[in-house]
Amino acid sequence: LPAPVSPERHAAIHGPLLSWYDRNKRDLPWRRTRDPYAIWLSEVMLQQTQVSTVIPYWERFLARFPTVKALASVPLDDVLSGWKGLGYYSRARNLHRAAQEVVERFEGKLPATAEELLTLPGFGRYTAGAVASIAFGEEAPIVDGNVARVLSRLFEVEGLPGDRDREATLWALASALVKGERPGDFNQALMEHGATVCRPESPLCLLCPVRDACIAFKKGRVDELPPAKVRAAPRKLFLALAVWPHAGTLLFARRADKGLFGGLWELPAVEVEEDTSEAEATERLATTLGAPLTLLGSLDSVRRQLTHRDLTLRLLRVTGGARPTKSVAFQELRWCTPQEAEALGMSTAMQRALDAALGHGVMGGDAVPAKKAPGRSARKATGP
C-alpha cells in the first residue's frame, strides 16, 4: 500500500477540489435534499445508469414511495414496476429488502455509519460510503469508476481495473483524502471531477483544479492511466417465449429471484439454442409450464443488446387445452389482460416482446398473421 498521503499533498487536493465543486457542480435533484433515503435511492439508481436517465425515475419513484416505510410496506411487484426500464433489477429487489430491514432493525431510519449500512442488502463498500458521507457527514471513503480514474492519475496507480492490489491502494488513498471538512461534498467532488473533467478519453487537464498535484500529468501519462479494461464479447442467449392468448388475457410467468430478469414477469420463456426448431422449443415450453401446448406459428423475434448478453427472444404463438395456474419452474403464473400487465414488473426486453406480440393482433384485433415458415425478422434495440 502507498505511504499515507502527506499533509501537503492532502491540502493540494482536498481544498482545491471542494472549491472547484462549489463553483462547477451540476444542479442535480438529489443534491438539494438532506433526506438519507432520497440520497440512498439516487446512489442505487446511479449504479450502471447515466444521470440523465436516472433523474425522472428518481423523481417518480420518490413520489410513489416517499419514505423507507412506504417502500417497505408495498409488494415487490410494485417496486419492480416502478423500476421498469432501468435495468439491473437486482438493485430494486435489494432496495426493497433493505427498506424492510431498516424498518425492522432501525425503526425506519437508515443507520448513520458505513459499518452499519454494510449489514443491509445491496450495500457494498461504495454505496455504504456514499450514503454515510453524503447523508450523515461520516469520513467514509468511496471508490467508483470515476474516483478510481482520478486517483489513478493523481497518484500514478498502476494495475488493471479489478486487480486486488490496485483496489486496495485506491481505497487507502480515498480513505486518507476524505478526512477533513465536508466529506460528503468531497466524495461528490471526486466523482463529479471524474465525470466532467478527468474523463476516460480527452480529459480536460487545462481546466483541472488539481493539475499541479497530478503525477500522471507531470509525467505525460494521463492517457495511459488507468489502462482500459478488456471487455469480454457479449454472450449470445436465445429464449423461446410462449404467446398464449385466452379470453382476452395472456399467460404471464414470474421468474425465480436469482439470475437474469430475476423476480420479474414475462411471457413464459425457456432458453434454447440458435438452431432449436420451433417444435422442439414448444416442447420445452410445454415441459416448463407442465401443460401440453400446440404451436400455431411463430411471430417476430425481438433482439436486445444487454451489457453482457446479446439476447434474442423468439415469440411462439401457442394454445392448449388445460390452462396452467402454477409451475415448478416459475414463482407464479397469472392470466392477465394487456392493461393489467402494465402494472407488472417487467424488463424492457420482455416489454418489447409483449409489444411485438400485441402488434401481431394476438388478442383478436387487427391480426398480422403468425408466420408458419421458419423465417423470422429481428427487431434491434439497445440497453437493458
Catalytic residues: 43
Q: Is 238 helix (H, G, I), strand (E, B) or coil?
A: strand
For cell 421498469, what's the residue? Answer: 84
Q: Is 241 helix (H, G, I), strand (E, B) or coil?
A: strand
Strand 269-272 relative to strand 235-243, pairing: antiparallel
- The answer to whether the beta carbons of residues 158 and 207 sit under 8 Å apart is no
Q: How far is CA 272 from the centre of its chain?
A: 25
Burial 359-372 (b: 16+ CB within 10 A, else e): ebebeeeeeeebbe
**Cis peptide upstream of residue 226 (ω within 30 degrees of 0):** yes
For residue 356, which of 343, 371, 344, 372 has the smallest C-alpha distance?
371
CA distances from 22 to 180, 193, 221 (A): 16, 12, 28
Backbone phi, psi, residue 311, to 5°: -100, 130
Q: Is 313 helix (H, G, I), strand (E, B) or coil?
A: strand
Say how many CA atoms lie within 13 Å of 18 toward its Cβ: 16
Cell of 45: 439508481
In sequence order, what are the residues at sequence separation of 6 or more whose Cβ sits closer than 8 angstroms to the Cβ of residue 332?
253, 254, 326
In whole angstroms, give the CA distance from residue 263 to residue 346: 9
In whole angstroms, give the CA distance from residue 384 to residue 380: 12
In whole angstroms, give the CA distance from residue 30 to residue 348: 25
- The answer to whether the beta carbons of residues 46 and 54 sit under 8 Å apart is yes
- List, as one string, the DSSP characters of 268-311: -EEEE-TT--HHHHHHHHHHHHTS--EEEEEEEEEEEE-SSEEE
